[in-house]
């Protein structure tokens, strides 16, 4: 009888200790300390935790401090961040991510906190990496967009170069307009630090605002495009032939959809041609559609300008894309952006047929 009683007490004590160990996390929510909780999930910028037998949920932005009992590395990062040692915190958060194993919720929490720490440490490459991952997981919510880390490093920093490469690659009309605006703002900030004035000018010229016009400008009348859109079928790689055939049949939307579905499979040599063809399909959809949908024209301009802004001037498609991007800016009523793009084309690609067309467009 005594042995049975001892076993029961031992089992009860073990259960009590196990429960206590499981509920040993701590959160500070709106400046109120919540010890003895257990974090159960982190998703879509919300945190779920168990307290007093109930599961509750809060926005991550409401939590100012975290202690995760099962992650020594994460707690080390939190302490460093609190002490103002942001770079040390970034390194510790990375250790915590590697040690998280299958705990997806902990990896999401790491990304959220590391994004903030990296911005504080002037490490835009890491901050942008985490921000884009948060957008992919949480969607284009106001909270996710607001985390955009505008914290460039010193000029010439590899972190700036890494951030620019990530953001330029992400430029896509598939993203929510608010996300696109955030990406453009970050790129313009980074371009400004690095002195990439040509890229900044092109990006501003390719960034139409809501509605029919361009950001900050009232749309004017749409003059003729000029030279007809020419589809360079002979130069189109095999991956683009299906889209080319769709364009020949007048199925412009299908051509755009086909290119969009394949964008991630194009290498750096093929991508400019794909973007150029995409822009042309969108432009023809605008020109030959019954009702003039100027959003198609704006998307075409963005596709053209990506080639000019995100790839080296030696890219074969660059002068053609710059020309058509300038023409689209003109159609959208942004004559300043069009003129700048034409002059840049003439400067960069003097002697080419596209430079000659640019001179004609400028009336010189």
CA–CA separation, 282 and 208 (whole Å):
15
Contacts of 163 (CB under 8 A, 6+ apart): 124, 125, 127, 128, 152, 186, 190
Assign 18 a pLDDT band (cuts: 50, 70, 90). very low
Full residue range of the structural domain in which residue 49 is found: 19-120
Residue 1 domain-assigned? no
Same domain, yes or no: 167 and 281: no
CA–CA separation, 59 and 228 (whole Å):
52
Q: pLDDT of 102-120, one tens digit each? A: 999 999 999 999 999 999 9
At residue 110, the pLDDT reads 96
Mean pLDDT of 276-301: 86
Dihedral angle sign, alpha carbons of residues 138, 209, 128, 121: negative
* Boundary-marking domain end, from 120, 149, 181: 120
At residue 42, the pLDDT reads 96
Residue 132 domain-assigned? yes
Same domain, yes or no: 281 and 307: yes
Q: What is the CATH number of the domain that holds 323?
A: 1.25.40.10
Residue 331 domain-assigned? yes
Contacts 24+ apart (CB under 8 A), 347-350: 348/313, 348/318, 348/319, 348/322, 349/313, 349/318, 349/319, 349/322
Assign 22 a pLDDT band (cuts: 50, 70, 90). very low
Q: pLDDT of 39-87, one tens digit each? A: 999 999 999 999 988 999 999 999 999 999 999 999 999 999 999 999 9
Residue 14 domain-assigned? no
Same domain, yes or no: 230 and 349: yes
Same domain, yes or no: 239 and 350: yes
At residue 364, the pLDDT reads 65
Same domain, yes or no: 240 and 336: yes
Same domain, yes or no: 76 and 183: no
Q: pLDDT of 323-342, one tens digit each? A: 999 999 898 888 888 888 89
Assign 169 a pLDDT band (cuts: 50, 70, 90). confident
Beta strand 63-67 pairing with 32-43:
unpaired
**pLDDT of 7 higher than 50:** no
Single pTM value for the model: 0.63
Same domain, yes or no: 132 and 92: no
Among the residue ranges 139-153, 165-179, 245-259, 270-284, the one predicted with the least confidence is: 165-179
């Amino acid at each position: 009888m005594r042995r049975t009683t001892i076993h029961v007490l031992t089992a009860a004590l073990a259960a009590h200790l196990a429960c206590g160990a499981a509920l040993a996390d701590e959160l500070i929510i709106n400046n109120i300390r919540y010890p003895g909780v257990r974090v159960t999930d982190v998703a879509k910028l919300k945190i779920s935790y168990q307290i007093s037998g109930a599961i509750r949920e809060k926005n991550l932005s409401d939590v100012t401090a975290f202690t995760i009992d099962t992650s020594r590395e994460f707690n080390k990062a939190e302490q460093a961040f609190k002490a103002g040692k942001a770079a040390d915190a970034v390194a510790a958060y990375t250790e915590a991510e590697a040690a998280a194993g299958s705990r997806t919720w902990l990896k999401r929490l790491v990304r959220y906190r590391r994004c903030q720490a990296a911005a504080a440490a002037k490490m835009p490459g890491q901050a942008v990496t985490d921000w884009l991952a948060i957008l992919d997981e949480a969607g284009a919510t106001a909270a996710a967009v607001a985390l955009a880390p505008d914290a460039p490093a010193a000029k010439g920093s590899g972190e700036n170069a890494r951030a620019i490469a990530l953001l330029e690659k992400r430029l896509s009309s598939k993203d929510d307009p608010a996300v696109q605006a955030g990406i453009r703002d970050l790129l313009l900030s980074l371009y400004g630090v690095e002195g990439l004035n040509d890229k900044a000018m092109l990006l501003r010229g390719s960034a139409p605002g809501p509605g029919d016009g361009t950001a900050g400008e009232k749309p004017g009348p749409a003059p003729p495009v000029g030279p007809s859109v020419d589809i360079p079928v002979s130069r189109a790689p095999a991956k683009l032939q299906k889209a080319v055939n769709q364009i020949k049949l007048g199925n412009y939307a299908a051509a755009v959809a086909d290119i969009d579905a394949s964008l991630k499979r194009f290498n750096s040599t093929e991508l400019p041609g794909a973007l150029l063809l995409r822009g042309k399909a969108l432009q023809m959809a605008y020109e030959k559609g019954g009702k003039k949908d100027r959003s198609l024209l704006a998307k075409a301009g963005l596709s053209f300008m990506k080639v000019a802004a995100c790839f080296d001037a030696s890219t074969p498609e660059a002068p053609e894309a710059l020309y058509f991007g300038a023409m689209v800016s003109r159609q959208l009523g942004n004559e300043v952006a069009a003129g700048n793009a034409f002059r840049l084309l003439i400067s960069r690609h003097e002697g080419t047929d596209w430079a000659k067309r640019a001179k004609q467009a400028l009336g010189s």
